[in-house]
Chain A
Amino acid sequence: MTETARKPAPPIQGPDPEKVKADLLAKYPPKVARKRAKQIIINRVATGDGVPEITANVRTVPGLMSQRGCCYAGCKGVVLGPTRDIVNITHGPIGCGFYSWLTRRNQTDPETTPDGHNFMPYCFSTDMQEKEIIFGGEKKLRQAIQEAYDNFKPKAIAVFATCPVGLIGDDIHAVCREMKDTLGINVFGFSCEGYKGVSQSAGHHIANNQIFKHVVGLDDTVGPGEFRVNLLGEYNIGGDAFEIERIFEKCGITTVATFSGNSTIDAFANSHTADLNLIMCHRSINYVAEMMEKKFGVPWIKINFIGAEATAKSLRKIAAYFDDPALTERVEAVIADELPAVQAVRDEIRPRTEGKRAMLFVGGSRAHHYQELFRELGMRTLSAGYEFAHRDDYEGRKVLPSVKVDADSRNIEELDVCPDPDRYRPRKTPEELAALAARGLSFKDYEGMMPEMPEGSLVIDDISQFETDLMIEKYRPDIFCAGIKEKYTIQKHGIPMKQLHSYDYGGPYAGFKGAVNFYREIDRMVNSRVWGTLKAPWQTNPELAATYAWE
């Protein structure tokens, strides 16, 4: 691969970012403008003082059309949704369960486990009615768990609380404990009521806590494999995890558990036996990595498999950690084997994408990771931001000590984790870790999105639709990346829009094969003929055509 992509990006050409920012704020009432001003930041990297501070993980402004979802969506939808063999019961009125039913494209392969359980195509709900809101829903929940067991015989049942459950005070955890005793299978609950926190992020935290409390560590069997890793924050959208596992297998790296793409409860239970945790989506899962390190001694590193270069770099990081000549050799061989095909497609496509400009407003890591793929295509990121990130996702984990915990975050449980008396086993000695660090392998670190973004780009947290529309008018990017709610609005502007949550039914985009898929997809999108047809012939040249037609 060429090295050009790693050079610091030249500043963004175009409208004066200060002026754009002022325009974005102009229409807001003063109080809203003051708040948004701290969430719309002009990126500064050239000064060398580190990136400027951004406000993130604060309440959505009521009335502004935000991209965000809720705590339940983060917990049930994102983190637990992709686990195929847990019966996930939504305790609440029907809507929440319905909307989180098969809408995330988490692929799974039940044939890879002996029991073949797969409950993902099912939606389980207690469908609470008015009388349960008035008299309490615990009885119905208990009965629903029993019926789920009678009908499906799963090895685990999880219960997710929705807004009204929290309000009426159903003790879902007590019901779960009771049913766990009655049925003899693992039954546990998540207090992930939609109103908790300020975005999906609260739900990720709650999901991770409960999985850590109720599942991780239940099975101490150390499985086969010399280099055993967990892949955290990879949800197997469009088969991403399958591609990463393909590469791992080729390298001789064993995946113990993926949290939570193509996952099973048994893999979670056994995950603490791995030697290294690899974090893809920092935002959704850094908690699990932190807790697993404290309790069991498994170190973690941030990796990124979005982009061919990023994939190669991440594989080298893993090899560096294990520090085994055979593995290093295999990793290099795999990279050498895989890259030519990627490079060939890139060489073919790059002349058609070079210099085009993208905007990305997605999730809590993808808006960063995908900039890598755009760089590989010679494209620039004009502006980016996250839907539910915290400051560390933007500015890097170094800001963690200075992040203020507000009331909305304080309500979410922090687990007090300490080393397990029997099972804590540091995978590397302090000396080994120090030596690896000296060679440039950073543990427990994530530098965040902003340091890698061009000078003068606009970093916008929790962008509103009003701001989105204005950004498009100001910059007319060649492609915009966001989610389904934004998709058709952007396209009505005449701008191609790529969904980076669901991949628009495409994918995988991770790993080497994924990079090729993405290159082709972006080439198709930014060069599609359809964007040249928005005006009818009589709209572009209305006056003269008829007069001279006979000539």
Chain B
Amino acid sequence: MLLRHTTSEIKERTALTVNPAKTCQPIGAMYAALGIHGCMPHSHGSQGCYAYHRSALTRHYKEPVIAATSAFTEGASVFGGQANLLQAIDNIFNVYNPEVIAVHTTCLSETIGDDIPQIVNKAVAEGKVPAGKHVIHANTPSYVGSHVTGFAGMTKAMVDYFAETGGPRSKTINLIPGFVEPSDMAEMRRMTAEMGLETIIFPDTSGVLNGPMTGKYRMYPPGGVTVEALRRTGCSQGTVALGRLASGDAARALDVKCKVPCQILDLPIGLAATDRFVDTLHRMAGVGVADSLTFERGQMVDIIADMHQYFYGKRVGLVGDPDQLLALTQFLVSLDMAPVYLVTGSPAGKKYEKRLRAAVEGVPQEVKIKVGGDMYLFHQWIKQAPVDLVIGNSYVKYIARDEDIPYVRHGFPILDRVGHSYFPTVGYRGGMRLLEKILDALLDRKDRDATDIGFELVM
């Protein structure tokens, strides 16, 4: 047993987190910043943060992850990080020549109270920021929120720093994809292109964190939203934001700043959520839905109908990020599965919890939900009453092995498999892939457990 000390007896914990189901804000900010073309994310704090965040993102994406750090030592921690950030800005532009430096803070620089805009102003005044280049920032203390809110913060910073009004309204739709994989962002782009829409997707890590190998390393791959496009977001006809936690802030900021109306939707995972996504685009842009998408939708419905017997009534434990967890839960319920344990580590709020509870209403089993929980509790619930399937990030594999439960990897981080950055789980095609993965896990298990007599070729 790997988690041999986990027991079914639950003792109340108020201070100790065991096996967290979240991590800290800066890593989310770093990931979002990588979705700007030519951007160097910069961690303002001691160098360990940046090293850990780069390592974690690298392990998840299996791609180069660039970032710089203010490299605080004790002196900077006492006297403030201004000198370090000024020097860093100077060095980064001289040596790595990005279009944008996206600074995020850490618990260290937040606690000592470094004022990033003031320092950046000083850098500009001292001529350390070359003409036409930019430094943006987001405050991401690690003792507030989670990696998801950090992502949201840096996405909002893109609006705060770049979105401009003034031009004529364009037909463009802004698409804020949420804390999803590069493959998901690419799939959203494909779907909107199928509908003939012009979109600005931000952030956009497709092509950045799932790039090709050519024998030539490019520090700034061709992907990512450009500064020019971010400027134009203020003149778009509307914004579709996916995932309330990860994308809501940026969408609302764009509405307030540039009067671009927004629709905030759940992540388009599963049939109904994808339907809402496509329908919203259709109504907002006033374009028809491409036949190709209706066709894909039909294929997805076909799989669900054909395979319904394998989904029906299966008990599922899910642990993940709030936006993902909600969308996945709705999807599983629509398959007549029973998501019985739902845990997210991110503090997502009462309203979120209410929506999650609404999503499982009508599930004919007892459902346990914990927002701001950890995987230790999740595992204890499973010990109390088992499930047929668990869905979560790579850390869940320890639980899956100990309890011998079929397991589908989904979420962040996935450290031990590839695929997530190349194949989407959003949209109809993504839904089909998710269905395939769930079926594979359940049916492989059925085959494994079958007796020689009961082992059969046809379904």
Contacts and interface: CB of A to CB of B under 8 A. Distances in A.
B69 A62 contact: yes
Contacts of A163: 45-46, 77, 106-108, 111
B66 interface: yes
A140 B15 contact: yes
Contacts of A93: 24, 107, 141-143
A488 B63 contact: yes
A141 interface: yes
B48 A71 contact: yes
B262 to A, nearest CB: 28
Interface string B25-58: 0110000000000000010011111011111101
A164 to B, nearest CB: 4
Contacts of B18: 122-124, 151
B65 A63 contact: no
Given A70-B51, A140-B15, A493 B107 contact: no
Interface in B76-108: 76-77, 84-85, 87-92, 94-96, 106-108
B23 interface: yes
Interface string A21-53: 000000111001000000000000000000000
Contacts of B89: 63
Contacts of B22: 94, 98
Given A64-B68, A93-B107, A489 B88 contact: no
A125 B72 contact: no
Nearest to B108: A163
B283 interface: no
Nearest to B26: A95
Interface string A64-81: 111111111100000000
Nearest to A140: B15
Contacts of A323: none
Nearest to A123: B19
Nearest to A147: B16
Given A95-B26, A485-B54, A164 B108 contact: yes
B110 to A, nearest CB: 8
A202 to B, nearest CB: 9
Contacts of B141: 93, 130, 133
Contact of A164 (B67, B111, B215, B218): B111
A62 B71 contact: yes
A144 interface: yes
A143 B217 contact: no
Contacts of B287: none
A488 B96 CA distance: 18
A489 B242 CA distance: 31
A253 to B, nearest CB: 31
Contacts of A66: 47, 51, 69, 71
B71 A126 contact: no
A382 B19 CA distance: 43
Contacts of B95: 27-28, 63-64, 464, 466
A294 B165 CA distance: 72
Interface string B141-153: 1111010000000
Contacts of A198: 73
Interface in A475-491: 483-485, 487-491
A94 B23 contact: yes
Contact of B398 (A59, A121, A168, A493): A121
B20 A123 contact: yes
A484 B85 contact: no
A194 interface: yes
Contacts of B106: 163
Interface residues of A, number: 92
Interface string B236-277: 000000000000000000000000000000000000000000
Contact of B2 (A95, A121, A466, A534): A121
Contact of B108 (A101, A144, A194): A194
A122 B108 contact: no
A485 B51 contact: yes
Nearest to B5: A152
A487 B216 contact: no
B351 interface: no
A492 B213 contact: yes
A485 B65 contact: yes
Given A63-B89, A485-B55, A534-B214, A94 B142 contact: yes
A70 B23 contact: no
Given A143-B16, A195-B77, A484 B59 contact: yes
Nearest to B70: A62
A477 to B, nearest CB: 14
B354 interface: no
B73 A197 contact: yes
Interface residues of B, number: 81
A203 B85 CA distance: 24
A478 B26 CA distance: 36
B63 A126 contact: no
A546 interface: no
Q: Which of B55, B74, B219, B398 has the most chain A CB within a 10 Å cutoff?
A: B74
B162 interface: no
B58 to A, nearest CB: 5
B73 A125 contact: no
Contact of A99 (B55, B94, B111, B214): B55
B15 A32 contact: no
B65 to A, nearest CB: 7
A465 interface: yes
A133 B15 contact: no
Contacts of B65: 485
Given A63-B68, A492-B213, A195 B74 contact: yes
Q: Which of B46, B92, B214 has the most chain A CB within a 10 Å cutoff?
A: B46
B3 A122 contact: yes
Contact of B66 (A94, A102, A465): A465
A98 B26 CA distance: 13
A195 B73 contact: yes
A73 B58 contact: no
A191 to B, nearest CB: 12
B13 A68 contact: no
A70 B63 CA distance: 23
Contact of B47 (A69, A98, A122, A162): A69
A334 interface: no
B395 interface: yes
Nearest to A67: B51
B17 interface: yes
B278 to A, nearest CB: 34
A61 interface: yes
A369 interface: no
Nearest to B77: A195
Given A61-B91, A132-B143, A124 B17 contact: yes
A89 interface: yes
Contacts of A61: 71, 87, 91
Q: Which of B49, B73, B87 has the most chain A CB within a 10 Å cutoff?
A: B73
Contact of A167 (B4, B15, B108): B108
Q: Which of A63, A97, A122 has the most chain B CB within a 10 Å cutoff?
A: A63
A142 B15 CA distance: 9
A95 B52 contact: yes
A408 B77 CA distance: 12
Contacts of B395: 101-102
A500 to B, nearest CB: 15
B96 A151 contact: no
A133 B112 CA distance: 11
9 contacts: A62-B87, A63-B70, A116-B4, A117-B5, A140-B15, A147-B16, A163-B108, A164-B108, A411-B74
7 interchain residue pairs of minimum CB distance: A70-B48, A95-B24, A63-B91, A63-B88, A494-B215, A93-B142, A143-B15
